[in-house]
Chains A and B, each alone.
Chain A
Amino acid sequence: MPQDRPQMSEDDDGQSPPLDLRSAAIADPCSSSPNKSRNCIPSGAMTSQAFPDHVLENVLENVLQFLDSRSDRNAASLVCKSWWRVESLTRSEVFIGNCYALSPARLTQRFKRIRSLLLKGKPRFADFNLMPPDWGANFAPWVSTMAKAYPWLEKVDLKRMFVTDDDLALLADSFPGFKELILVCCEGFGTSGIAIVANKCRKLKVLDLIESEVSDDEVDWISCFPEDVTNLESLAFDCVEAPINFKALESLVGRSPFLKKLRLNRFVSLEELHRLLLGAPQLTSLGTGSFSHDNAPQSEQEPDYAAAFRACKSVVCLSGFRELMPEYLPAIFPVCANLTSLNFSYANVSPDMFKPIIHNCHKLQVFWALDSICDEGLLAVAATCKELRELRIFPFDPREDSEGPVSEVGLLAISEGCRNLESILYFCQRMTNAAVITMSENCPELTVFRLCIMGRHRPDHVTGKPMDEGFGAIVKNCKKLTRLAVSGLLTDQAFRYMGEYGKLIRTLSVAFAGDSDMALRHVLEGCPRLQKLEIRDSPFGDVALRSGMHRYYNMRFVWMSACRLSKGCCRDIARAMPNLVVEVIGSDDDEDNRDYVETLYMYRSLDGPRKDAPKFVTIL
């Protein structure tokens, strides 16, 4: 589900503890020369006469505490040592895009008053089985270090990290004011760890488990929440593949007056959902669970599901439908007109089922679905959802040679109807340059363009030409583009376009594309803002890799798998760039592959190579 991740600036809960304010106002504004003597000395602050730096720093503290954006903070910290020091004291939320870029000790040494941590671990391609399990990204060293350093920690937001039950137990024990736990695409823990968090974190507001692997330890974790009224505002457990104690859940919802977001897993049936909704009309975000019955409908009168939805006047975000019984779908009609976000991506909805629903969703901004809605369904979206900002179409049958119910027809329709589109992820079996070019012209607000033509090396299915011109148009016309994923048959020309026009691209995903090293060179010698580069199965070799050496320190990571890299070249780069960690990942001890690099994952790091690398990782 689109995670309602708070923007940095919205986190107004992350205020530092009250600062030690000097009493009167300081007449002089902050100057860049702290040794200048002050005209006005605040009364009572006798020591400031002798130590003007302290005065300055207190002023700075008062000012910098209001800085929320991390780029602003990073800039402020570079002004001078004094600013660096004060910024470190006043930063309350820290974002770490790569958990191996620095050690936990470095974090706690620099920042003393952290309330909120956002931490990302494994690279994205690990989601597609391109990396053996047990690679790393362990939360353990982070939680144990923070347990001692940040007793006032309130929020932990992890993505692609390996988190154990012990880690969760330590977290629950160490932070008495803990409020928000968000685990996205994580694994390593189970319902027993969740139970501990539910039980011990008495101030818990947010418990969001999103697309994570949660093992079923057969623990009734819902019953572990404390008996009294809770502070829960958001509870998302749609990814937990374990039955739930419904009575306990109903009771929990009943004693959570602040609950706004509730995402149920597929073990909650339609009747149970109905009961919950009647008891929680204040919900704004709902994950409906299975949306089906276990058994045949009861002999007694069926509950009026539509009435339950009618009562939920505030629901603007709807997801779930994990085992959808389509005949019940019309029950959601009452909320459609209010919906800003709708996620059907786990429901095999046909166009006929879908069109009456979407016809009412005029306010929709975020829409995720399976391609089972077909081009026909997309036309309906285009006709109704004029405010659409984000679209994701996933394949019902995720194989290269499956039927393709969506195509350039749907893409074209969306581009015509949804001119405010900012983000698109589109899986299809066939596409044309013309449709992509049209989208680039119709949707100038696009910041994220991810097109996955599922057959490898597949050209424009009408002209037979490579997809170069389509993607070229995207980078040329969508001037705000920051994220791009390409597919289909692509020659070096496509990459020339990307390098030349992709001025704001930060993230680039490439698979089965390009003809030669030149392609990668175009990107590495262009794309000035490139931060994250992930490439698989493309014919790029040592020459191309070397051509990027001038910029690897300015990137978060580079991933290249099944390309044409040699160990020798990677070793050279590792030697030339000591702050770059160069990991070569093999499957096991590949004696037969002495020089070939199956997977290269390299990233900058302040603290050198990690100590927890498994056997199959060689750090050069």
Chain B
Amino acid sequence: MIGSVELNLRETELCLGLPGGDTAALVTGNKRGFSETVDLKLNLNNEPESKEGSTTHHEVVTSVSKEKSSCPKDPAKPPAKAQVVGWPPVRSYRKNVMGSCQKSSGGTEATAAFVKVSMDGAPYLRKVDLKMYKSYDELSSALANMFSSFTMGKNGGEEGMIDFMNERKLKDLVNSWDYVPSYEDKDGDWMLVGDVPWPMFVDTCKRLRLMKGSDAIGLAPGAMEKCKSRA
């Protein structure tokens, strides 16, 4: 699990990633409108485990932090950043009160939308509050944070990169490390993440699963059609 990493740590970061891998581009560039697919990229630190065999979580760096340091500071709209339940530790009572006072942001809602997130092969589930995020990008950053520790453990730092599904690779299932983000909707069907507008997704998603690419064949990409037929 990794949090934010400040500018001054960039020098010490070792990253394995795509050459010229300015990951900021991925998030902003090649997305089509609403049908963004979740694109998770993990740049794992290949530092040898010098600390008596203990894996140090904070050495795993995610793409988010780099994106953050390259974006100009804009107080009104900070760049996408993973949010974690109950952090910072401000009591929900106070958060709710401040939320109603804040004019800029949307304010915090009292209810949360917790869904379980499982990743095939990971030893345990996590939970996320979908209402903490405003877009698929933010969610993907959060998931990258959460599951980076597993991938590090799995690969022993050798693979260095987990390439989560983007739209191109949906059809290319050769690389067995690909994970397809899928979700279970209100009807109990398993759909691919990214086809419906974000607010609709928050509403219908009951559970998330990052499936191994090979298992994802046959998942319905036609969530949009399904929703339309229901409406």
**B8 CB-CB contact with A under 8 Å:** yes
Q: B187 contacts which chain A residues (CB < 8 A)? A: none
Q: B91 contacts which chain A residues (CB < 8 A)? A: 127-128, 185, 211
**B58 CB-CB contact with A under 8 Å:** yes
Interface segment, A250-258, A409-417, A587-595?
A587-595
Number of A-B residue pairs having CB atoms within 8 Å of each other in the complex: 138
Picked from A130, A464, A516, A592, the residue with its CB within 8 Å of the CB of B52 is A516
Asked whether A399 and B101 contact (CB < 8 A) given A461-B6, A464-B9, A539-B54, the answer is no
Instruction: Label chain B's interface by main secondary structure.
Output: loop
Contact B5 A593 (CB under 8 A): no
Contact B52 A348 (CB under 8 A): no
Contact A539 B95 (CB under 8 A): no
* Contact pattern, B 1-44, Cβ under 8 Å of A = 1, otherwise 0: 11111101100100000000000000000000000000000000
**B92 CB-CB contact with A under 8 Å:** yes
Asked whether A125 and B68 contact (CB < 8 A) given A461-B8, A464-B9, A592-B118, the answer is no
Instruction: Report the minimum CB–CB distance from A293 to chain B (whole Å).
Output: 16
* Contact pattern, A 436-470, Cβ under 8 Å of B = 1, otherwise 0: 00000000000000001011111101101000000
Picked from A129, A345, A395, A489, the residue with its CB within 8 Å of the CB of B58 is A489
Contact B98 A398 (CB under 8 A): yes
Q: Which residue of B lies closest to A132 (CB)?
A: B114
Q: Which residue of B lies closest to A456 (CB)?
A: B3
Contact B68 A129 (CB under 8 A): no
Instruction: Label chain A's interface by main secondary structure.
Output: loop
Q: A185 contacts which chain B residues (CB < 8 A)? A: 91, 93
Contact A400 B127 (CB under 8 A): no
Q: B54 contacts which chain A residues (CB < 8 A)? A: 515-516, 539
A464→B11 CA distance, assembly (Å): 10
Q: Which of B46-95 contact A (CB under 8 A)?
A: 51-52, 54-58, 68, 73, 75, 78-79, 81-95
Contact B2 A587 (CB under 8 A): no
A456→B2 CA distance, assembly (Å): 7
A441→B3 CA distance, assembly (Å): 30
Asked whether A400 and B90 contact (CB < 8 A) given A592-B124, A592-B125, the answer is no
Picked from A129, A464, A511, A516, the residue with its CB within 8 Å of the CB of B8 is A464
16 chain-A/chain-B pairs, Cβ below 8 angstroms: A128-B86, A128-B89, A129-B86, A129-B92, A213-B93, A345-B94, A348-B101, A403-B75, A456-B1, A456-B84, A457-B58, A459-B6, A459-B8, A461-B6, A464-B9, A593-B125
Interface residues, chain A, with chain B CB atoms under 8 Å away: 125, 127-130, 185, 211, 213, 239, 322-323, 345-346, 348, 394-403, 427, 430, 452, 454-459, 461-462, 464, 489, 509, 511-512, 515-516, 536-537, 539, 587, 590, 592-593, 595-596, 598
- Besides A211-B91, A458-B4, A593-B123, 16 other CB < 8 A contacts? A128-B92, A398-B90, A398-B94, A400-B3, A455-B3, A455-B6, A457-B58, A461-B8, A464-B8, A511-B89, A512-B87, A515-B51, A537-B87, A592-B124, A595-B123, A598-B124
Interface residues, chain B, with chain A CB atoms under 8 Å away: 1-6, 8-9, 12, 51-52, 54-58, 68, 73, 75, 78-79, 81-95, 97-98, 101-102, 105, 112, 114, 116, 118, 123-125, 127, 129
